[in-house]
A and B are shown apart, each in its own frame.
With several copies, the nearest count.
Chain A
Amino acid sequence: MDVNLILNDHFVLVQRKSQMSLHQLPKKEGKQWTIKVGRDLVDLSSALGKPHGTFKLSRNEENKSKAFSLVPSNDVVEMKEKLKDLNSGENNKEIWDDGKSQQLKKEDIEELRGQGLTGSEIVTQLVENSKTFQIKTEFSQEKYLSKKEEKYSEWVEILKPNIRHLAKYFHSQDPMQILNLRPDTLAMIMSLANIKSNGKFGVFDGGCQGLVTAAILDRIQGFGTVWNLCLKGISQKRVIQAMNFSPEQLKPLKNANLHKVKESLKKEENGDGDEVPAAKIIKLDEDAPQPLELGSLDGLVVLCRRPNAIAKELVKLLAPSGNFVIFCPYSEPLCETYTDFRECNLAVNLKLTEAWFRLHQVLPLRTHPEVNMSGSGGYILSGIKVVS
């Protein structure tokens, strides 16, 4: 089922230490494809046809200044292992950081790079030219080396994109490009909307690049239906594309233009002169030949900056006892929506929440929470639709 080879036209994530980037391989075979990894040029096409995994940046022997090739390799040697025989100090008492301890200048380092030195060769140079490295404590040395490794490591991971990676990647790049929907908040949305195979779900994505839709498609693996509810313009799909979904995995995805849904509704209404019934069947446009009914969805996810008006309408698509989740990067619009839903008795178990998330460094004698954390991952209003 899973495609585990790096193939043309597919997306891959390239990771060096904590740095990640997303790339699409060229559509045509045989084309060279050079990307930047940090400050290094890497020929990504050299990994084509190989399984995803760890690769070593390797120099083309003939021309050292050209881009690195990728060679599969599991023998990752961390710099701290390479340099572990060096002396270290007992404490940092003698160290006075006057900014002059490193004798190599920026230009020197650039020149070493130009000469085609590998990352670990450059770091070795940096260590040898540091006046204070050998009197630093072992922990300080390790910290220094792992900082340098971020820039110079010779190993990269070529990852097959999955939701976990993509959610983290898009949030770390520019949170607002996905409305600041943080991975842990995405996880909550999947639970609170009761996403499961063989269900019918609706997603109104007002700016999350298809992240939630992709997460649902991945979760249900072809079983069920996901309606992409939209009003106008191009639908959000960048994350869906990056998932390299097979046609079977994409099968559940249907587009529903809400204006067209409404038009069909009106025609039906005019036809029999009645009020819109709660579970009327509506025919849709070519994109979505299957019918989308009011009161038919098992779960609904609304993601946008100002859900107030639209969320209340979309809940009409939900079956009684169906679960909805409304996500917003701001609390104020959800506050209004909360009051509105409560006054209209639209739902029970209404909850307005915010998640708090923090990573920890767990290392012998150096365990502590990460010093950088996200201050906000968006707000969620969730509930269960009822008929009063």
Chain B
Amino acid sequence: MSFAKTKHAVEEGDTVIIYVNPQAMYAIQVKPLIATKKGDMVENIFQTAYGALKVQELVGKKFGHKVQFSRGWGYLLHPTPELWTLNLLHRTQILYTPDISLIVMQLDLKAGSIVVESGTGSGSLSHAIIRAIAPTGHLHTFDFHQQRVEIVTKEFIDHGLETFVTAKQRDACKDGFDLEDTADAVFLDLPNPWLAISHAVKALKNSGGRICTFSPCIEQTQKTCEALVAKGFKCIETMECLQREFQVKNITLPDVDDYNFSFSQTTDKDSEGNGKKEGRKFRALLPALQMAGHTGYLTFATWPRQSSVQI
């Protein structure tokens, strides 16, 4: 129940984020009991890098405050789609926040939008879509993999989002979406998105809408663009978005990196004594040495208002 509306303190059933450090975060559901491998229900004790946490004790605790583990502490955070993306269990490759953000904005999503998504995957994008379109919109999400649909359906219920989303097992390329003149936007993350374009057209509102396809390979994008042109989509745009993260470091260089040399000064012994350490100190913005160089190509297009539609 915790994604849908912001609250200040934890209630039983909520999914919360336990933040220890940027490399150690955990998404846990606040339930008194948990099933063992054998199926027995036992007290829900969560093991962090800094010791155990009795999950039920989180009830009533305030978000944004510290929580104690047996050998340390962390922060209790309200879940957001971004934190969920970082902490969900990967069933597939997932979309990350830079691509997700572009998709949501470029599809013109807002409260009230009706959206079709295929495939659901691990539900990373779904959570961000639901946030954008609630409380009056609806997400129809499809995956051809039955197990994925079952897991994500349970997650939507656990997160209190079930009224805003319908998840179904379906092979979108073969069987379409079984929706007509309904959607404001369609998102396709499929190996062969071009096979689903005609189904997307059927699902889109006759008054017009937007489509987005995500493909890791350029050959997929090329085929998709051709299909979009052939079907009559307009404003077809393909884009790439990467994110570069910086570290901020206060650097004090070691003595050996201090090159206090001058051809013209008569004594450099003197100058070496003066404010030497200060000269070796500075604050630097360091780009991460490694970064994601590619996720996929995003192609967006507009489905124009059909002439059959009266204003």
A residues within 8 Å of B by Cβ? Answer: 1, 4-5, 51, 53, 74, 91, 93, 96, 162-164, 167, 175, 180, 183-184, 186-188, 190-192, 194-199, 206-207, 215, 218-223, 231, 233, 258-259, 261-262, 265-266, 276, 294, 298, 304-310, 313, 316, 319-323, 330-333, 335-336, 338-339, 342, 348-349, 351-376, 384-388
Contacts and interface: CB of A to CB of B under 8 A. Distances in A.
A164 B106 contact: yes
Nearest to A167: B105
B231 interface: no
Interface string B281-311: 0111111111111111101000011010001
B284 A186 contact: no
A362 B299 contact: yes
B145 A93 contact: yes
Contacts of B81: 191, 194
A96 B262 CA distance: 56
A313 B262 contact: yes
B136 interface: yes
A316 B78 contact: no
A384 B145 CA distance: 35
Q: Which 6 A-B pairs have CB atoms at the shortest separation, nearest pair first?
A: A320-B64, A373-B293, A321-B64, A321-B63, A310-B259, A376-B287
A241 to B, nearest CB: 18
B287 A333 contact: no
A331 B246 contact: yes
Contacts of B237: 359
B240 A357 contact: yes
Contact of A221 (B82, B110, B219, B245): B110
B219 A366 contact: yes
A339 to B, nearest CB: 6
B295 to A, nearest CB: 8
B257 A5 contact: no
Contact of A309 (B135, B244, B260): B260
Interface in B228-264: 236-248, 250-251, 253, 256-264
B299 A180 contact: no
A366 B294 CA distance: 13
B246 A258 contact: no
A339 B77 contact: no
A187 B97 CA distance: 10
Given A91-B191, A306-B259, A385-B64, A356 B242 contact: yes
A191 B97 contact: yes
Contact of B82 (A191, A321, A363): A191
B62, B63, B280 interface centre (most CB from chain A within 10 Å): B63
A5, A206, A362, A376 interface centre (most CB from chain B within 10 Å): A362
B263 A196 contact: no
Given A321-B63, A321-B64, A330-B286, A187 B106 contact: yes
Contact of B263 (A1, A231, A265, A363): A265
A331 to B, nearest CB: 5
B112 interface: yes
A360 to B, nearest CB: 4
B274 to A, nearest CB: 12
A369 B261 contact: no
B198 interface: no
B38 interface: no
Interface of B: 5-6, 8, 19, 22, 62-66, 75-78, 80-83, 97-98, 100-102, 104-106, 108-112, 128, 131-132, 134-136, 144-145, 147, 171, 191, 216-219, 221-222, 225-226, 236-248, 250-251, 253, 256-264, 266, 279-280, 282-297, 299, 304-305, 307, 311
Contacts of A207: 257
A206 B257 contact: yes
A371 B292 contact: yes
A1 B219 contact: no
Given A74-B307, A355-B98, A365-B217, A219 B226 contact: no
A276 B263 contact: yes
A354 B248 CA distance: 13
Given A187-B104, A192-B82, A294 B191 contact: no
Nearest to B220: A365
B258 A349 contact: no
A339 B128 CA distance: 30
Nearest to A93: B144
Given A184-B102, A223-B136, 15 more contacts: A187-B106, A188-B97, A196-B132, A313-B263, A319-B64, A320-B63, A321-B64, A335-B283, A354-B243, A354-B246, A357-B241, A366-B217, A372-B290, A384-B64, A385-B64
25 contacts: A74-B304, A96-B145, A163-B108, A187-B101, A187-B106, A188-B243, A192-B97, A195-B131, A219-B110, A221-B110, A306-B258, A306-B282, A316-B263, A321-B64, A321-B78, A339-B248, A352-B248, A355-B242, A356-B243, A360-B297, A370-B293, A373-B294, A374-B289, A376-B288, A386-B64
Contact of A375 (B261, B280, B291): B291
A367 B289 contact: no
A252 B22 CA distance: 34
A375 B5 contact: no
B288 A375 contact: yes
Contact of B134 (A196, A262, A336, A355): A196
Contacts of A196: 131-132, 134
Contacts of A319: 6, 8, 63-64
Contacts of B171: 93
B287 A356 contact: no
Contact of B226 (A167, A258, A364): A364
B104 A191 contact: yes
A233 to B, nearest CB: 7
A375 B244 contact: yes
A376 B63 contact: no
A360 B102 CA distance: 15
Contacts of B75: 348, 386
B305 A187 contact: no
B104, B294, B299 interface centre (most CB from chain A within 10 Å): B294
